[in-house]
Amino acid sequence: MSIYISPSIMCCQFEDYSDYISSFENKRVKNIHFDVMDGHYVKNIMLGTNTYKELKSKTNLPIDLHFMCNNPEDFIEYFSPQNGDWVCFHPETTNHPHRLLQKIKSLGCRAGYAINPGTPLSYIEEVLDELDYILIMAVNPGFAGQTMVDSHLDKLKRIKEMVNSADRNIDLVIDGNTTIENAKKMVNAGATGLVVGTSSLLKSVEVFNEEYENYLEAISNLKESQ
């Protein structure tokens, strides 16, 4: 399975969106990662519905909406994700996570769970038949620039084993501190997708274009050596 890159729009300056999006499309990234934070579940607030609509008006690339919110069903309704988008939430933030996964899929979106370093994996076991992807946090959510939690790779391996036992094609996407060095370890442990941000690529459009090639080359070389 090829490894894909999901650049985080949170790490881009709003006035540069058009340049970034053009670059993302030229590089054929799989989707654009979009963090929604409510200031309660995490102590930060971003990104809003207007920003989402602006992105959708500029590109046909799918948007990967990551809801770091209490009662995510309310926020998902506000955003009205479009057919083909990816939508994930933290299962502990809602009373009916299984039903919410079904709701997301009914919109024509790919449905996923976001799993923190301290989230029990039992949440995943009960809904493997509904999951299209799992966003696995390598850091505690809320802020960019953190370092990878030590136990992350072991947790990723255990999730990979669960997915393999279910015999389903579920993407395992890693979010947080996905430097080239860490990304190699993450791919070895089972990652199929990597969210990238300020710590690895998105400091400027020029840096993205240059470093993106280095990043992909490093991952490609890793796969060839296995």
DSSP bridge pairs for 113:
89, 134
Catalytic annotation on 85? no
Query: What's the pLDDT tens digit per position in 168-177?
Result: 899 999 998 8
pLDDT band at 203 (very low <50, low <70, confident <90, very high): low
Give dist(CA 168, CA 88) in Å, integer. 18
Note the CATH number of domain 4-225. 3.20.20.70
Domain boundaries, the chain: 4-225
Catalytic annotation on 38? no
Mean pLDDT of the chain, nearest integer: 88
Give dist(CA 194, CA 7) in Å, integer. 8
Q: 132 versus 211: which is more confidently predicted?
A: 132
Q: What is the pTM of this model?
A: 0.90
Q: 212 versus 170: which is more confidently predicted?
A: 170
3-state DSSP helix/strand/coil % of the chain, to nearest 5: 45, 20, 35
pLDDT band at 135 (very low <50, low <70, confident <90, very high): very high
Of the candidates 38, 64, 132, 175, the residue annotated as catalytic is 175
The pLDDT value given to residue 182: 87
CA atoms within 13 A on the CB side of 85: 23
The pLDDT value given to residue 212: 73
Give dist(CA 16, CA 8) in Å, integer. 13
Of the candidates 16, 19, 35, 38, the residue annotated as catalytic is 35
Query: What's the pLDDT tens digit per position in 5-33?
Result: 899 888 777 777 888 888 888 877 899 99
Q: 66 versus 1: which is more confidently predicted?
A: 66
pLDDT at 50 over 50: yes
